[in-house]
Structure 1
Amino acid sequence: MHMPYSCIIIDDEPDAVEILTDYIQQMPELKLTNSYVDPVVAMAEINQSSGVDFIFMDIDMPRISGIDLSKSIRDKCNRLVFTTAHTKYAFEAFEVEADAYLLKPFTFAKFALTVNKLIKVVIAPTAKQAAQKHFYVKTTEERNRFVRVYIPDIIAVESVKNYIKIYTTTDEIVTYLTLKEIKEKLNETANFIQVHRSFIISTDHIEKIEGSLVKLPKEMLIPIGTFFKDAFFEYLNKHTIKTGRMN
């Protein structure tokens, strides 16, 4: 059992650091490894570290905000919890994949409840988020609407004019991203391959290959583009069991 969970506090208000320190010390499951009142120092030191289980961070700080700081250190923590006195940052916190949002002043009971909920979700070893199973996208349907996309559920991604369509096992999500931008995210796993200038597919969801067509769930038939054939058939050859028998 992985305990205690390592924690870092980042808050430019010493009183807030003191309160959080006390809360962490009251929970045997947690261990405070460091605290910072200067977010710039925190950024430099955390980026040089091997990572931490929890970061509790204020948003409204001098020189660099918690939102901007999180973009630099998000891959160094398994659980990111924003602690702020302002509700106006909720959407930004959501966008950078914060795991929780504690509104100051919060009680120890509220803090403990939040931490216990996050601990129940198994915390994997910190590893550049390679094991991350989801991300968020802003949809085209309405302003400030975000959808969580589970990577194992993605069947294919299609580029359509100035947006992309993400096909999952349960939904079709339209978002204003480019295929290049989504490809960078999916490249963190080894389960996606581009087969056409307009399509990236999940190799986990391939049902069959017939000539230059890949069949996916939901009766999707994706053409293999000429430029992408060599890489795709190299993948196919690598994952095909071959017989040693003579015909």
Structure 2
Amino acid sequence: MTCLAIDDEPLALDLVEDNIRKISFLRLLKKCSNALEANEFLLRHPVDLLFLDIQMPGLSGIQFLQGLTKNPPLVILITAYEKYALDGYNFDVVDYLLKPVSFERFLKAVNKSHEKFLSISSTQGALQNYLFVNSEYSLVRIDFNDIAYIEGLRDYVKIFLLSASRPVITRISMKSLEEKLPMNSFVRVHKSFIVALNKITSIRKGRISILKAQVPISEHFKENIYKVVDPKSLN
């Protein structure tokens, strides 16, 4: 996630920068000492996440937020004043941090932002026939038509692609991933497997041949297959 930090206190900016450097999925694009400077930067550079102070000379953080109308970034407010919390949440900020901010509290806010960012990316991707998943500290684009099948492993899933020899591994539940897929193209056939319907080679004796794999069909999910293939082929 690309980041912009805005604060009129140099030490506060340095602390935010130091914290960002410790987190692999964040990249700081710029530090700004006032909101006007930040506004000029945003006009030229898209940013995913803002770290924003509230009390600043000239244009306050709240006034700055009021001016962000088109595709605003995610926002984490960092301030010394608790009284502005309600104003912040009225703008749907991800989190509100009170100075001095510990790294543990900073990390919690960043993780919330990352989850929201992934959710937004996946929703947008669903409309565009792809989604993004977090894998090996990177956001990886997955085209729906490239997916052969998906295997669930506790809190992780393996996404097997036609274009890659190795699966993409990401930390997400099968239920969450299933909700992001166009289910007219995919079917859940087992608690641990989702398959792409147009990638099925054959179905025989309760097993689906897809790529070089044999995917089992469980009793609980047989009904899903009945809706799209001849039930006799499941015997």
TM-score (norm 1): 0.47
Task: Name the one with the larger helix percent.
Answer: 2
TM (normalized to structure 2)? 0.49
